[in-house]
Structure 1
Amino acid sequence: MKRQEKAQIIEQLTKVAERASIAIVTDFKGIDAEELTALRTKLREVGVDCQVVKNTLARLAFEGTTHGILADKFKESCAVVTGYTDPVAAAKAVADFAKGSKKFSMRFASLEGKYLDDKGIEALSKLPSKDELLGMALGTLNAVPTNFVRVLANVPRGLLNVLTAVKDQKEAA
């Protein structure tokens, strides 16, 4: 590989690292091309990229970015999975694929500059996705006015029940 090609790859990886909210480094040693293609397809469905890179190029590209904490940890054969909008979706997709494959594993990650080991990625994958969290928040916000309306509706209902009881009592007398 020529020096100019390497510089271009480093520049491209740096742009990806700066844009990404999560960068997961995986071990894919022993995985054939079909499985790697299946992984990339699954990741693209959730808006996540996967790129096999040379360690020295990845080190140079990640230095000085928000994921610079990973720069000196690239060893052996690895692929970098980068997620841009929803880090939980990226972690879920990688964790699900790792469960189904004996040869594929998650090594470590950087979540907006914070280091995560494989257990941290697993814990992140168990969280609800961004859409689910927004739905929960919306449900909570909607519950407050709904309950307030119910409380206000119970005041006239209670008064009506008292008046009906008084009316029934007078009719019986």
Structure 2
Amino acid sequence: MDRTEKRAFVASLAEVFADTSFVLVAQNNGLTVADVSDLRRKMRAAGATYKVAKNRLATLALDGTRFQGIAPLLKGPTALAWSTDPVAVAKTAVEFAKGNDKFVILGGAIGEQTLNVDGVKALATLPSLETLRAQLVGLIQTPATRIAGVLQAPGGQVARVLAAYAKKDEAA
């Protein structure tokens, strides 16, 4: 890379850090091309991006952003993964790390909050953003359904009482 390419890379990475909500740092020492391709495919399916970056350039891109806390993690052969949905990145990375011992999660950051490995694993256990939205909609709909049921119950009871009287009169 020449200087202009490096500047462009740092600028594009800084732009990514400004737009994203979560950044994961992992060590990818000894991964094969097939493993990295598989990981990238899984990350893309989860709506995330996975990129191997030079530590010095990534540190320059982190400077002045809210993710400055992960700069000490950038040592050795590291890679970055990011997404607007933090749970998706964490789940994908933790799942891949279970099956591949050469992929080691170092930590991450949600905004200015820096996470260690345990924090990333805890984040991976949370339900995804879509699941949380569905649960929230379900919680909102439940009271409305119950209110409609309560309002309909007295009318139904009156109808049943009248039907019982009608059957009683027919039988007599």
Normalising to structure 2: TM-score of the pair? Answer: 0.89
Aligned-residue offset at 1:70? 1.2
Q: Distance in 1 between matches of 2:4 and 2:160?
A: 85
- Over the matched positions of the two proteins, sequence identity in percent amounts to 33
Q: Distance in 2 between matches of 1:36 and 1:59?
A: 22
Q: Distance in 2 between matches of 1:13 and 1:171?
A: 83
Q: Do the aligned residues in 1 keep the contact of 2:87 with 2:123 (CA within 8 Å)?
A: yes
Q: Distance in 2 between matches of 1:14 and 1:54?
A: 14
List runs of 5+ in structure 1 lacking aligned partners: none
* 1:23 maps to 2:16: no
Structure 2 equivalent of residue 75 of structure 1: 75
Q: Distance in 1 between matches of 2:95 and 2:61?
A: 28
Give, as a single letter, the amino acid of the residue that structure 1 aligns with 2:158.
Answer: L
Deviations 1:97-149 (A, max 9, x none): 11111111211001122111111111111111111111111111111111001
Structure 2 equivalent of residue 154 of structure 1: 153
Structure 2 equivalent of residue 114 of structure 1: 113
Residues matched between the structures, number: 172
Aligned-residue offset at 1:57? 1.0
Aligned-residue offset at 1:158? 2.9
Q: Do the aligned residues in 2 keep the contact of 1:60 with 1:71 (CA within 8 Å)?
A: no
Aligned-residue offset at 1:4? 2.5
Structure 1 equivalent of residue 96 of structure 2: 97
Q: Do the aligned residues in 2 keep the contact of 1:95 with 1:122 (CA within 8 Å)?
A: yes
SS in 2 for 1:14: helix
Q: Distance in 1 between matches of 2:112 and 2:122?
A: 17
Q: Distance in 2 between matches of 1:132 and 1:102?
A: 29
Q: Do the aligned residues in 1 keep the contact of 2:73 with 2:106 (CA within 8 Å)?
A: no
Aligned-residue offset at 1:171? 8.7
SS in 1 for 2:87: helix
Aligned-residue offset at 1:72? 3.1
Structure 1 equivalent of residue 127 of structure 2: 128
- With over 3 angstroms needed to count, the CA separation of the structure-2 counterparts of 1:2 and 1:171, relative to structure 1, is closer
Aligned-residue offset at 1:162? 4.7
Q: Do the aligned residues in 2 keep the contact of 1:51 with 1:79 (CA within 8 Å)?
A: yes
Aligned-residue offset at 1:2? 2.8
Structure 2 equivalent of residue 43 of structure 1: 43
